[in-house]
Chains A and B, each alone.
Chain A
Amino acid sequence: MIAIKNISKTFRQEKKVFKALDDVSLEIEQGDIVGIIGFSGAGKSTLIRSVNLLEKPDEGQIIVNGKDLAKLSSSELAKERKKIGMIFQHFNLLSSRTVFDNVALPLELDNAGKAEISKKVNELLKVVGLEDKANEYPKSLSGGQKQRVAIARALANDPYLLLCDEATSALDPVTTQSILQLLKDINQRLGITILLITHEMDVIKAICNHVAVIDKGRLVVKGSLEEVLSDREHPIIKQFSISKTVNIPQSISSTLKREPEAGLFPLVEVELNGNILFEKLLSVIYSDYKIPYKLITADVEYLGKASFGKLLLHLQGSPVENEKAIRYFNKNNIQNTIKGYA
C-alpha cells in the first residue's frame, strides 16, 4: 500500500555534507504496524517525514495507494496529506486553542460546518478518552493527555495511515504504555496502518508487527518482529536488545564464591533468545532432570510463541545433576553463564 522506493537525502550545511538517508526502501502493508528503530542521528526522523513529504527526498519515490507523491501539485499533495495523520514527540498542539478547537483544526481547514465539526470532535474525544477536557487549554494537560489530543486531531480526517514521530519519547513509561495501547486499539478498531519511529526497543516490542533497523541512513535489517529480535548476531540489534543486566540480589552476592565448594550451588544466568519457551525450560529442569532450583529473578517477555529475556537460576541439585542441566543448555544453544556459587 505504501512503498518507499530507493529514497536518498543529503543535507548540506556550509561545507559539511550529511547523508541522512541512503537508498532506503520499505513496503508497508495495509493494516500493519511497522516500527523503525535507530539511534539519534540515524536518519529515522528524516525517513518518516519523507513519507508525507515534509522532507523532500533528493532521489527515489514515495508511492501511496499507487500515486507518486513527489509528482503531485501542491494542492494535490495537501489533499493526500489530509489522509495521512501525524503525531509528534512534542505534541505540537496550538496553545491558543482549547482541546476541542485543536481537534477541530483539520476540519476547519476543510471548511466543514459547525454541526459537523462538533459531532466529529466529540466522537474523537471519546475515542481518546478526553470528553471532559474539551474546553481546557493544552497548558493544563499532562503529557499523555496532550498526546491523546494530538492523536484525536490526527484522526479527524479519517486517515488510512498514521505516522508517529517519536510519539512516546517525551512520556514516562506508564504513560508510554497507555499511549501505545491506544495506538494498537486504533489500529485494530479503525484499521489504520501505523508507521512509527523510535529509539526504544520496548515501544517496538509493545505494538509492532514488522520492524526495520536504521543505521547511518540505511535500513540494515527488515522483517517481522520475531525475525528481527532473534537475529542477535547483528551488532545493531544486539545493542538495542541487550536487556538490562540482571542484578544479583545483595543477600546472595555477599556470600557468592567464585569457585565451587562443597555445599554451594551454582548461580546461572540464562538468556532466552526465542529458541525455547520459558515454561519449557523450567519444566525440563524440574520434571525431566529432577533438579531442585530457585528462580532468583526473571525478566522475560513473550512475543508470539517465543520467550525473550534473562533469568537467574540457582540450581540446587547434586554437582552431577547441575552439570547435566548446563549441558542441556549448551546443546540447545541457550546462552548461560555461571555467575558464581552460593
Chain B
Amino acid sequence: MLDESTVSLLFKGLGETVYMTFVSGFFGFLLGLPVGIVLFLTRKGQLLENRSYNRSLSVLVNVFRSIPFIILIVWLIPFTRAMVGTSIGVNAALVPLSIGSAPFIARLVENSLLEVPAGLVETARALGAGPIQVTRKVLLPEALPSLINNASITLITLVGYSAMGGAVGAGGLGQVGYQYGYVGYNAFIMNTVLILLIALVFLIQFLGDRLSKKFNHR
C-alpha cells in the first residue's frame, strides 16, 4: 500500500502543512503581537490608558475573531489575489491563515501580559523607564514563558486551520486527506494523514512545553 508515489504525496503534504503552519504563525505574530501589546497598554490602569483606542481595537479584534475561518478564506480571496497573485496553493493560504490567527494571537498576548505582576511595571516606572522600555525590558521578557505556551496553542490551531484550507485548494495534508480520503475514499491514506497530523500536534506541544520551561524562572 505504501508505494513510492503515496509516500512522496504524504511527505509533500506534511511539508506543506508544516510550512503553512509556521510561516503563517510567524506572520500572525507579526500582526498580533503589536495589537496585543497595544490592547494591554491602553487598558484601564495601564501605562497608556486610553478608553477609546482600547475600545475600537477590541471591537476590531472581536469582529475578526467572529468570522468562521472557512468563510474568511473565501471572503479574503480578492485581497489574497492582490497580495500573492493567486487564490490557490500554499502561499495563497498564508494570507487568510495569518489574518485569521492575528486577532486570536492578539488576545493571547494581551492575556500573557496581564499575568505579569503589576508591581514590576511600577518598579520600572520608578526607575524612569518609558512605555517602550517597560514593554521591551519588563513585560515581554517576564511574559515569555506564557507567550511560548500561547504560541504552541496558536500553531496547533493553525495545523487545524491549514487542513481546513486544504479542502478549498490550499494544499498540505488537509488536501491530501480530503481528496484521497473523502473524495477517493482511500481509508489508508486518510488514516495516515490523521496520524501525521496528530504526530505534528504532539510534537509542537512537546517542543513548546520544553521551551517554555527553559525560559521560566519563576
Q: Is A81's CB under 8 angstroms from B120's CB?
A: no
Given A88-B123, A90-B119, A94-B142, A81–B137 Cβ distance below 8 Å? no
Q: Say whether B188 faces chain A, with CB atoms less than 8 Å apart.
A: no
Q: Is A94's CB under 8 angstroms from B120's CB?
A: yes
The digit string for A134-149, where 1 denotes a CB below 8 A from any CB of B, is 0001110000000000
CA distance A108 to B128 in the complex (A): 11
Q: Is A109's CB under 8 angstroms from B122's CB?
A: no
Considering only residues 135-181 of chain A, those with a C-beta below 8 Å from chain B are: 137-139, 153, 157, 163
Given A90-B119, A96-B215, A81–B126 Cβ distance below 8 Å? yes
Considering only residues 75-102 of chain A, those with a C-beta below 8 Å from chain B are: 75, 78-82, 84, 86, 88, 90, 92, 94-97
Contact count A vs B, C-beta below 8 Å: 62
Q: Say whether A52 faces chain B, with CB atoms less than 8 Å apart.
A: yes
Q: Is A109's CB under 8 angstroms from B129's CB?
A: yes
Q: Say whether B200 faces chain A, with CB atoms less than 8 Å apart.
A: no
CA distance A78 to B126 in the complex (A): 8
Residue of A nearest to B141 (CB): A96
Q: Is B126's CB under 8 angstroms from A52's CB?
A: yes
CA distance A265 to B86 in the complex (A): 107
- Taking the closest CB of chain B, its distance from the CB of A48, in whole angstroms, is 11
CA distance A94 to B121 in the complex (A): 10
Q: Is A88's CB under 8 angstroms from B128's CB?
A: no
Q: Which residues of B sit under 8 angstroms from A54, Cβ to Cβ? A: 122, 125-126
Q: Is B217's CB under 8 angstroms from A88's CB?
A: no
A88, A94, A105, A137 pick with most chain B CB within 10 angstroms: A94
Q: Which residues of A sit under 8 angstroms from B124, Cβ to Cβ? A: 105, 109
Q: Say whether B144 faces chain A, with CB atoms less than 8 Å apart.
A: yes
The digit string for B126-149, where 1 denotes a CB below 8 A from any CB of A, is 111110010001100110100000
- Taking the closest CB of chain B, its distance from the CB of A86, in whole angstroms, is 4
Q: Is A92's CB under 8 angstroms from B127's CB?
A: no
Given A96-B215, A139-B217, A139-B218, A109–B128 Cβ distance below 8 Å? yes
Q: Say whether B78 faces chain A, with CB atoms less than 8 Å apart.
A: no
Q: Which residues of A sit under 8 angstroms from B117, Cβ to Cβ? A: 92
Residue in A78, A105, A138 whose CB lies within 8 Å of B137? A105
Q: Say whether A106 faces chain B, with CB atoms less than 8 Å apart.
A: yes
CA distance A81 to B129 in the complex (A): 9
- Taking the closest CB of chain B, its distance from the CB of A53, in whole angstroms, is 9
Given A52-B126, A105-B127, A109-B128, A92–B120 Cβ distance below 8 Å? yes
Q: Is B217's CB under 8 angstroms from A138's CB?
A: yes
Q: Is B126's CB under 8 angstroms from A96's CB?
A: no
- Taking the closest CB of chain A, its distance from the CB of B53, in whole angstroms, is 18
23 examples of A-B residue contacts, CB within 8 angstroms: A54-B125, A54-B126, A78-B128, A78-B129, A81-B128, A82-B128, A88-B119, A88-B122, A90-B119, A92-B119, A92-B122, A94-B142, A95-B218, A96-B142, A96-B144, A96-B215, A105-B127, A105-B137, A106-B128, A109-B128, A109-B129, A153-B127, A163-B126
